């Protein structure tokens, strides 16, 4: 039985032997699955004590392997930044290709669901926006655009007892650009993505600024619970996103003050290739003046009942 068949049977509840890849990584449990393959919590058995990691398994299909190669190349180029998930290695097996990544704690949707109110407050959003904006500024300076910023791809660092660092994961659709391109360039790749910007929804190629807009939509989701954008069909969603980027200040969007000012700093001056990173970071820091996200400690404490208290 191949490694992928063994893993698939295990996921379906079949009786299988523990899966160890290349005498190096023991798979513990499946933690995610998609069209590309599956994601597993794993242990590096070559060190003592064993170290936890994540193994992302890609099926051997042309389009899937292309995405895997994009992610490998991008993470290799961005490996020196603390806001990017760490690439530990890769495995080229008979029936699957695997990326081995650092284990992070949980994504923002999971985090919001574990709080008492089911959503994140201003202090947590301040830290998240500051970290993500800082990381995106670095990624863009290396001529990469993430293109898939969403709550599921924004992770808490693995140690909840330390100063938290928000990390970006899933670079499978990242784009490298050699030089600044015309913002009217077409690209229909993300016309249906829930967190895509209005421009992307309208078929325009993603720019660094669009990563920041996707960050805004992501924090709107985890702070407001319900996105104030029409999702009834693709056309209405596209039109509503485009309208939001110029009419975000209207009362019917009900943006809380911190997100209202964040939107103002992002959309100031209209569409552009690069956002004003410094203005965005200064704006979000003013949202919670008693907390400096660049220096102060923010802790996420797990309680016995499973909830998380942010302090």
Whole-model pTM?
A: 0.93
Instruction: Give the mean model confidence (pLDDT) for residues 134-148.
Output: 98
pLDDT at 234: 78
Q: Are 68 and 196 members of one domain?
A: no
Instruction: Give the mean model confidence (pLDDT) for residues 45-62.
Output: 96
**Residue-wise pLDDT tens digits, 32-44:** 998 789 999 999 9
Question: How far is it, in rounded angstroms, from Cα 149 to Cα 212?
Answer: 8
Q: Are 158 and 304 members of one domain?
A: yes
| Terminal-residue alpha carbon distance, the chain | 49
pLDDT tops 60 at residue 130 = yes
pLDDT at 174: 96
Q: Which domain holds residue 87?
A: 27-102
Q: Are 276 and 136 members of one domain?
A: yes
Listed residues 75, 102, 129: the one ending a domain: 102
pLDDT at 11: 52
Least trusted range by pLDDT, from 8-17, 198-207, 253-262, 296-305: 8-17
Q: Are 127 and 255 members of one domain?
A: yes
Q: Are 110 and 98 members of one domain?
A: no
Listed residues 79, 102, 125: the one ending a domain: 102
Listed residues 102, 117, 139: the one ending a domain: 102
State the residue for tokens 């190096």: 24
pLDDT band at 239 (very low <50, low <70, confident <90, very high): confident
127 annotated among ligand-binding-site residues: no
**Residue-wise pLDDT tens digits, 209-221:** 999 999 999 999 9
Q: How many domains does the chain have?
A: 2
Q: Are 193 and 290 members of one domain?
A: yes
CATH of the domain at 282: 1.10.510.10
Q: Are 162 and 189 members of one domain?
A: yes
**Residue-wise pLDDT tens digits, 80-106:** 899 999 999 999 998 999 999 999 999
Q: How many helices (H) and strands (E) does the chain have?
A: 9, 12
79 falls within a domain: yes
Peptide bond into 160 cis (omega under 30): no
pLDDT at 157: 84
pLDDT tops 60 at residue 286 = yes
Q: H helices within 78-186, ranges in order?
A: 108-114, 122-141
Q: Are 169 and 289 members of one domain?
A: yes
pLDDT tops 90 at residue 161 = no
pLDDT tops 80 at residue 12 = no
pLDDT at 160: 57
Residue 92 DSSP code:
E
20 falls within a domain: no
pLDDT at 217: 96
| Mutual angle of helices 208-224 and 257-267, in 10-degree steps | 170
Q: Which tops the pLDDT comparison, 230 or 64?
A: 64
CATH of the domain at 32: 3.30.200.20
Least trusted range by pLDDT, from 112-116, 207-211, 226-230: 226-230
């Amino acid at each position: 039985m191949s490694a992928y068949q063994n893993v698939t049977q295990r996921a379906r509840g079949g009786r299988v032997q523990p899966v160890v890849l290349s005498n190096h990584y023991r798979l513990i449990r499946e933690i995610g699955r998609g069209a590309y393959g599956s994601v597993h919590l794993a242990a590096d058995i070559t060190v003592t004590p064993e170290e936890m990691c994540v193994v992302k398994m890609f099926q051997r299909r042309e389009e899937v392997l292309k995405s895997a190669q994009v992610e490998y190349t991008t993470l290799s180029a961005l490996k020196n930044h603390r806001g990017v998930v760490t690439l530990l290695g890769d495995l080229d097996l008979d029936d699957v290709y695997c990326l081995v990544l650092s284990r992070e704690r949980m994504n923002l949707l999971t985090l919001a669901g574990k709080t008492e109110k089911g959503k994140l407050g201003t202090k947590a959003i301040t830290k998240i926006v500051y970290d993500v904006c800082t990381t995106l500024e670095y990624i863009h300076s290396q001529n990469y655009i993430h293109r898939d910023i969403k709550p599921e791809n924004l992770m808490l660092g693995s140690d909840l007892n330390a100063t938290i660092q928000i990390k970006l994961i899933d670079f499978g659709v990242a784009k490298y650009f050699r030089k600044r391109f015309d913002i009217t360039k077409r690209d229909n790749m993300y016309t249906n993505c829930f967190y895509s910007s209005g421009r992307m929804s309208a078929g325009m190629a993603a720019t660094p600024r669009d990563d920041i807009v996707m960050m805004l939509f992501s924090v709107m989701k985890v702070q407001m619970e319900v996105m104030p954008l029409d999702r009834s069909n693709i056309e209405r969603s596209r039109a509503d996103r485009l309208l939001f980027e110029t009419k975000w200040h209207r009362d019917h969007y009900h943006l809380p003050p911190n997100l209202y000012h964040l939107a103002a700093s992002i959309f100031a001056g209209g569409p552009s290739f690069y956002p004003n990173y410094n203005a965005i970071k200064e704006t979000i820091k003013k949202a919670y003046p008693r907390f400096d996200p660049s220096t102060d400690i923010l802790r996420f404490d797990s309680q016995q009942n499973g909830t998380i208290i942010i302090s």
